[in-house]
Amino acid sequence: MLAAARTAFAERGFDGATIRAIASSAGVDPALVHHYFGSKDALFLAAVEAPADPAELVPEILAVPQDQLGAAVVRMALRVWDGPARPGGLALLRSAVNNEWTAKLLREFLVSRVLRKVVATLGFDPDVRAARASLVASQLIGMVMARYVLRLEPLASASPESIVAAIGPTVQRYLTGDVDLPHA
Amino acid sequence: MLAAARTAFAERGFDGATIRAIASSAGVDPALVHHYFGSKDALFLAAVEAPADPAELVPEILAVPQDQLGAAVVRMALRVWDGPARPGGLALLRSAVNNEWTAKLLREFLVSRVLRKVVATLGFDPDVRAARASLVASQLIGMVMARYVLRLEPLASASPESIVAAIGPTVQRYLTGDVDLPHA
């Protein structure tokens, strides 16, 4: 069931994949998928072996004033990665770098399940939202790679709040600031 | 010889490793290492299977006025990754994510061979240089991961110049701007 879910999410994205189609390709009844996982969200998180559930994290980020969103996003990312989710996060990152399908799943996870929900509150057009979300993702993924994978100093040993102070303004600019957006 | 070089560079860093010690642990004469590789730089690039030689790239970056360094760094990174070096770069990145030793080598490559040379021209104290270089690295690695590994849209299909316009100001701020630096 999880293998079928991975295939469907990687091929069709979170929105395009349906529990009905996943159940059908796994040769089981959709009711069984619902019974085991409860929701498409939960099935997706299980399929990517997500180390954290964004449904618990996003509301906390969105509780801050809009001009502090950048800091809140960086602070949350560091709290997740400095906590017990780190091994799972590293495993997901490793797998995404080695495997195009997991890369698609991680992209769906980051964009559809986390960043899109944060950016959606800002009231831009969909194209602008996607562009801003991809810039935010570029800084966050790089922060994680530099701090936890390459262990670049002083980022690797720095206090979370000092990193929030350095990188938060970048994420804030990407989210709400005056930025020339990437386009074809 | 390359295996001995990888071990030495990963354990001692680029500056700490010596051709003499590498030759000794490979059981060969240092003159042979010089004969094959010519310099410690070239040996290092061969050891990490570097897809590009920073000695050719850094002078071009440094030719621009200081307030355009951020754009020049992003433009160069995109030119290297959009060119024939991409498969080699992806292989190095993959290997770094999977293997702590290659991560150390990639860190040395990025920091000692590329970013340190760019940041050294700006006249900060060594601690400040390291902090600024690690922030620049965080944004560049994330840009590469988002565009080439995760293929996040619109970053994946965007024109290089539109990405320079979006991300250049971030790198400029990390290099020369007013930024709270990460610290323990």
**pLDDT tens digits, residue range A115-158?**
888 998 898 999 999 999 999 999 999 999 999 999 999 999 99
* A22 contact partners, CB below 8 Å, separation of at least 6: A1, A4, A5, A8, A33, A43
The CATH number of residue A7's host domain is 1.10.10.60
How many Å apart are CA A16 and CA A111, to the nearest integer? 14
Placement of tokens 């509780």 in the chain: A63
Do residue A122 and residue A79 come from a single domain?
A: yes
Do residue A145 and residue A114 come from a single domain?
A: yes
Do residue B37 and residue B79 come from a single domain?
A: no
In-domain check, residue B184: no
In-domain check, residue A183: no
Q: Is B18 left (phi over 0), alpha (psi -120 to 50) or beta?
A: beta
In-domain check, residue B181: no
* Three-state helix/strand/coil letters over chain B: CHHHHHHHHHHHHHHHCCHHHHHHHHCCCHHHHHHHHCCHHHHHHHHCCCCCCHHHHHHHHHCCCHHHHHHHHHHHHHHHHHCCCHHHHHHHHHHHHHCHHHHHHHHHHHHHHHHHHHHHCCCCCHHHHHHHHHHHHHHHHHHHHHHHHCCCCCCCCCCHHHHHHHHHHHHHHHHHCCCCCCCC
Do residue B102 and residue B24 come from a single domain?
A: no
In-domain check, residue B150: yes
The CATH number of residue A121's host domain is 1.10.357.10
Residues of chain A found within 8 Å of residue B97, distances taken between Cβ atoms: 93-94, 97-98, 145, 149
Nearest CB to B158 within list A140, A162, A182: A182
Do residue A96 and residue A9 come from a single domain?
A: no
Q: In one letter, which amino acid is A108?
A: E
If DSSP codes are grouped into helix, strand and coil, which group holds residue B37? Answer: helix
How many Å apart are CA A131 and CA A113, to the nearest integer? 16
How many Å apart are CA B99 and CA B104, to the nearest integer? 9
Do residue A26 and residue A87 come from a single domain?
A: no
In-domain check, residue A181: no
Give the residue from A10, A26, A47 where a domain finishes.
A47
CA distances from B24 to A4, B1, B32, B35, B77 (A): 53, 10, 11, 15, 36
In-domain check, residue A148: yes
Range of the domain at B93: 51-176
Do residue A60 and residue A141 come from a single domain?
A: yes
Do residue B84 and residue B161 come from a single domain?
A: yes
In-domain check, residue B2: yes
Do residue B95 and residue B158 come from a single domain?
A: yes
If DSSP codes are grouped into helix, strand and coil, which group holds residue B43? Answer: helix
Average pLDDT of span B61-88? 93
Interchain CB contact of B163 with A (< 8 Å): yes
Identify the pLDDT of residue B180: 96
pTM for this one?
A: 0.88
| Tens-digit pLDDT profile for residues A63-118 | 999 999 999 999 999 999 998 888 888 888 888 888 888 888 888 888 877 888 89
When scoring A73, A98, A143, A145 by the number of chain B Cβ atoms within 10 A, the one with the most, hence best to mutate, is A145
Residues of chain B found within 8 Å of residue A111, distances taken between Cβ atoms: 152
Number of domains in chain A: 2
Identify the pLDDT of residue A17: 87
Identify the pLDDT of residue A105: 83
Predicted interface score ipTM higher than 0.85: yes
Identify the pLDDT of residue A98: 83
Interchain CB contact of A111 with B (< 8 Å): yes
Residues of chain A found within 8 Å of residue B142, distances taken between Cβ atoms: 137-143, 145
Placement of tokens 């590469």 in the chain: B144
Do residue B125 and residue B86 come from a single domain?
A: yes
Do residue B41 and residue B59 come from a single domain?
A: no
Q: What are phi and psi of B83, to 5 degrees?
A: -105, -165
In-domain check, residue B120: yes
Identify the pLDDT of residue B100: 84
Residues of chain B found within 8 Å of residue A170, distances taken between Cβ atoms: 139, 170, 173
Identify the pLDDT of residue A148: 94
> What distance in Å separates residue A107's CA from the closest CA in chain B?
6
